[in-house]
Structure 1
Amino acid sequence: MNIVATVVFVALFAFITVLGFVSAHWRKGDMTHLHEWGLGGRRFGTWITWFLIGGDLYTAYTFVAVPALVFGAGALGFFALPYTVVVYPLVFAILPRLWVVARKHNYITASDFVAGRYNSPALALAIAVTGIVATMPYIALQLVGLQVVIGGLGFPTTHGLMGDLPLIIAFIILAAFTYTSGLRAPASIAVVKDLLVYITVIALIIVVPLKMGGFANIFAAIPKGHLLLPPIKDGNTGMQSFYGTLAFGSALALMLYPHATTAVLAAKGPNTLRRNWVFLPAYSFMLGLIALLGYMAYASGIAKLPDLAPYFKAYGPQFAMPGLLLHYFPSWFVGVGFAAVAIGALVPAAIMSIAAANLFTRNIYKAYINPKCSTAQETSVAKLVSLLVKFGALLFIIFLPLTYAIQLQLLGGILILQTFPAIVSGIYTRWFDAKALLLGWAVGLAWGVWAASLSGFQKSGYALHLGGMTILSYIGLYALIINFAVAVAATLLIRVIGMADDRDATVAADYAG
């Protein structure tokens, strides 16, 4: 047991626990209303929104998994950089319009918007269920970072009471302050999380190269095959096309996740969001530094050191970044860095559970189970569901192999992309028919699941054979193209036979602002 690191870790964890409970009194509103509990009253300004969205999208799993992917797969791991660059122009154009219409109609979720825009509870239900299913494994994966750093502190690396107890305690605390404070808790904690992450990454990116003799020595120790993507050969585009389509498809999917929508709708206004999209690429710069940690871990050979080899045996490449901290830094700073990862797990997990609870409450419970529920009942159900979602994810990670969560997360990205036509096209046009969008969603989703199943849900690429070429691309993007094609064809047919339903709860003026 690393006593010093554990004491620092626990102290920082205790601080954010207190902060989480105190957050209920910050910009206090009537917490019996869902927009107050689940969206923070839509009153978060530029800085808090910046930290909230950053803490929401750049998770502990990112902090651990990106260096792990670079450590294990090399250059492919850098796909996260272009994808987080591409996403900002997209959201700059799209999400402020969603905020404006959501505010005018008191929409809490993207499914609320779909229900109103298309007059289709069935399409809204499909979007809501897709969002919940895609979010659950994402919450579970936040525990990966938490598990790794708890193991790094010296707790048992195998499942059992001693190994799982710190994880259980952490999520009981998370459940308690989320239930009490709603979205205000992760919004305030995100500030602490980001400060700790920036301090940790900057220290790593300065200290480790200095101790290894500079970046020239680091890159000299990396094999060429680890630094470059394989070239196109014999008509097989291979990783070249997969890299680009994975980055683009991931960018399209990122803004559709319920937790991303929740963070966006909690902002004070559309201009708050636009200012954020200008400054949020600072996180992309930080992500590039985080990715380099994978090369540093590879070049340093820490996976073979006697004191760290057992951790790499237990966690594999996931221990690349924690391994650098343990090897190159004093114990007190290890506690700071590990706390950054742990708090970086709790912030997105809290937002994700709130987002899933909002979807269930508004688009399943209120729409189908109890349409006449009061405002207080609606919020009570959301709080209860947020608890169930968190503990469902906790049970998932404790009792099932980690590979299941990773496989489901790969599938989750494919699934969430199939909500793009209904949500994004609806923000700009009412041309599509709801029945056609529902058919496109079903066909795209079915094809995506089938294509992913060909590799046993181990890979997210599909090789398309076309005119002597083999084009390996991201499954989610292929499925989205099929989805759009079916939706366009079905809408044309429905309009020709006169079965189109153009009823719309919104008007053009709702989108201005």
Structure 2
Amino acid sequence: MGFLASRWRRASALDNLDEWGLGGRGFGTFVTWFLIGGDIYTAYTFVAVPALLYAGNMVGFFAVPYTIVLYPIIFVFLPRLWSVSHRHGYVTPADFIRGRFDSKPLALAVAITGILATMPYIALQLVGIQVVLEVMGIGGQGDSWLAKDIPLFIAFAVLAAYTYSSGLRAPALIAFVKDTLIYIVIIVAVIYIPIQLGGWDVIFGSARDSFNSFNADNADAIAAGAASPKGLVPVEALHWAYASLALGSALALFMYPHSLTGVLASASRNVIRRNAALLPAYSFLLGLLALLGFMAVAAGIQVDNAQMAVPELLREMFPPWFAGVAFAAIGIGALVPAAIMSIAAANLWTRNIYKAYLNTEATPAQEAKQSKLISLVVKFGALFFVLGLPSDFAINLQLLGGVWILQTFPAIVFGLYTRWFHRYALLAGWAVGMAYGTWTAYLVEVPGDPGSHFGGSLAVVPFTEDVKGYIALTAFVINLLVAVVLTLAFRALKVPAGQDHTVPEDYKADAGDEGVEDLDVDELSTDTPTR
């Protein structure tokens, strides 16, 4: 289906970013719902969130409230981004930043951040494929790197080939199959597995007893900080950690370039609004999926790597033929978003680095060629994250990306409503937030492994003694404070703020309006003059 997608909704050619990178900018409500849903609810959904609950992580359920908080937020600001992007032909969020703030350095910062944050997210998808194949007995055997990591290279080859040939149409088409399989598997799982285990009261009781037993047996290690306590719900000391993870993740998700790519590929503002209203259906699905972690505890699943808990649960509880269907759902649930992510990162490179600095006269065909090639390079970068960083809990890879990508929020979202912030102040705030967030995340140790790094996404909030919070949200607050203070300073010093290449009407434009419906690919530019 990925390869055949190049013929679906076929254009005269795929040699421009509008067609290859945004699927022709014409997806309606139905296709967009599957595309964005396939983009957001990934192998992370099937593997990492239940893994946290299986491991007794008290804040692991944060993913459910964060997706609930998310949709009212995007209902408000994403239609404005769609309008100004379609009026000016913006393909990436960095295109918008350059046009709004007249700042190539700020646009470059947003582009680099997007690429950097996307790589661990792609890596998370590859990890999801790897653990499924390992449970099936393919890969992960023996001591050689080839035997252990061959699933990653298989996934890379398949993903790279169909992404290169079909662009965004491939994951859009495959998303129909992916979501259908996931819904079938989870509906069967939440009915069939509890019946097999004796009911939900047995499942929650088993999880509670298991976590309490662990806490009692490891009381000394927990007191010394060498192990983390387990539980069903956060204790009072972790309430802010839970809340900040939910809020920070909600603010960060649609800053990712792949999330915005799915939005910009839609046909109108109303398509975005309808999807903001319909997508919470996936939040219900996510809540059910998370409970698979408790089911694995009740079923007595024993694994050293928590990421393998759900695949092992499915293998043991289902007949072999249906376990195969479930594994296929996880595998496709990784390939769909990984394709969109690599396309989005490649578009950032092409528009905001290659065309902005290396080949300012690049034609649409040259842009498309660059994006195709860089989409392959990005996947190699994702392999580095998988092979070079701890991945016992794959969710840490994605949360590390969240620390980075949230630092683009002030420029993108606030920029949709006001130009009060000075371009240099936004750049300075971004730099400070990135530096603080990266360094703080680096210092977090894996519990029980002194001297290790990137062991989690929580750290003590500055100016508090023991209140832990999501590093990304703390860095965002610091970023915003720096931007506000320096904006006041730069305005007082009358530092030039640059020219705004947009006008207020651009943020309300819809399909059929002048300059939107018949957007000519040859006229697309980040330097559209002020009208």
TM-score (norm 2): 0.87
The equivalent residue for 1:8 is: none
**Matched position secondary structure for 1:222:** helix
Contact 1:410 1:457 in 2 (8 A): no
Output one character per residue of 1:390-441: Cα deviation in whole Å (capped at 9) or x when no partner: 2332355357653597655332211111000000001111111101100111
The equivalent residue for 1:285 is: 284
Q: 1:496 aligns with which of 492, 496, 499?
A: 492
- The share of aligned pairs that are identical, in percent, is 56
**Matched position secondary structure for 2:459:** strand
The equivalent residue for 1:308 is: none
**Matched position secondary structure for 2:460:** strand
> Does the alignment pair 1:55 with 2:20?
no
**Matched position secondary structure for 2:413:** helix
Q: 2 CA distance for matches of 1:431 and 1:324? A: 53
Q: 2 CA distance for matches of 1:230 and 1:381? A: 47
1:1-400 maps to which residues of 2 (within 5 A)? Answer: 19-29=1-11, 30-158=13-141, 159-223=144-208, 226-232=230-236, 238-303=237-302, 312-313=303-304, 316-394=305-383, 396-398=385-387
The equivalent residue for 1:419 is: 408
More helix by share: 1
In structure 2, what residue type is equivalent to 1:443? V
Q: 2 CA distance for matches of 1:219 and 1:82? A: 20
The equivalent residue for 1:438 is: 427
Contact 1:229 1:239 in 2 (8 A): no
Q: 2 CA distance for matches of 1:25 and 1:459? A: 43
In structure 1, what residue type is equivalent to 2:245? L
CA RMSD of aligned residues (A): 1.8
Distance 1:63 1:437, change over 3 A: same
Q: 2 CA distance for matches of 1:475 and 1:395? A: 23
In structure 2, what residue type is equivalent to 1:463? V
* Aligned-residue offset at 1:461: 1.7
The equivalent residue for 1:458 is: 455
The equivalent residue for 1:309 is: none
In structure 2, what residue type is equivalent to 1:320? A
Contact 2:127 2:394 in 1 (8 A): no
**Matched position secondary structure for 1:44:** coil
Contact 1:32 1:379 in 2 (8 A): yes
Q: 2 CA distance for matches of 1:344 and 1:475? A: 28
* Aligned-residue offset at 1:448: 1.3
Contact 1:74 1:227 in 2 (8 A): yes
* Aligned-residue offset at 1:320: 1.5
* Aligned-residue offset at 1:163: 4.5
Contact 2:306 2:393 in 1 (8 A): no
* Aligned-residue offset at 1:203: 1.1
Q: 2 CA distance for matches of 1:481 and 1:396? A: 27
In structure 2, what residue type is equivalent to 1:419? T
Distance 1:249 1:395, change over 3 A: closer
**Matched position secondary structure for 1:488:** helix
* Aligned-residue offset at 1:498: 1.1
Distance 1:217 1:229, change over 3 A: closer
Distance 1:393 1:230, change over 3 A: closer
The equivalent residue for 2:466 is: 470
TM-score (norm 1): 0.90
Q: 2 CA distance for matches of 1:376 and 1:110? A: 21
**Matched position secondary structure for 2:461:** strand
Distance 1:405 1:71, change over 3 A: closer
Q: 2 CA distance for matches of 1:485 and 1:400? A: 31
Unaligned segments of structure 1, at least 5 residues:
1-18, 233-237, 304-311
Q: 1 CA distance for matches of 2:339 and 2:235? A: 42
Contact 2:58 2:235 in 1 (8 A): no
Q: 2 CA distance for matches of 1:364 and 1:450? A: 26
Output one character per residue of 1:116-163: Cα deviation in whole Å (capped at 9) or x when no partner: 000000000000001101111111111111011111112242454344
The equivalent residue for 2:222 is: none
Unaligned segments of structure 2, at least 5 residues:
213-229, 445-452, 510-531
Q: 1 CA distance for matches of 2:463 and 2:422? A: 32
Distance 1:149 1:256, change over 3 A: same
Output one character per residue of 1:459-499: Cα deviation in whole Å (capped at 9) or x when no partner: 222223657x6322111111111111111111111111111
Q: 1 CA distance for matches of 2:203 and 2:396? A: 32
Distance 1:210 1:484, change over 3 A: same
* Aligned-residue offset at 1:500: 3.5
Contact 1:190 1:347 in 2 (8 A): yes
Length, aligned pairs only: 479
Q: 1 CA distance for matches of 2:307 and 2:385? A: 19
**Matched position secondary structure for 2:495:** coil
Output one character per residue of 1:44-88: Cα deviation in whole Å (capped at 9) or x when no partner: 111110001011011112211111000002442110011000000
Q: 1 CA distance for matches of 2:259 and 2:462? A: 35
Distance 1:229 1:352, change over 3 A: same
In structure 2, what residue type is equivalent to 1:185? A
Q: 2 CA distance for matches of 1:60 and 1:176? A: 20
The equivalent residue for 2:527 is: none
Contact 2:56 2:231 in 1 (8 A): no
* Aligned-residue offset at 1:319: 1.4
Q: 2 CA distance for matches of 1:295 and 1:399? A: 30
Contact 1:229 1:240 in 2 (8 A): no
Contact 2:307 2:392 in 1 (8 A): no
Contact 2:129 2:151 in 1 (8 A): no
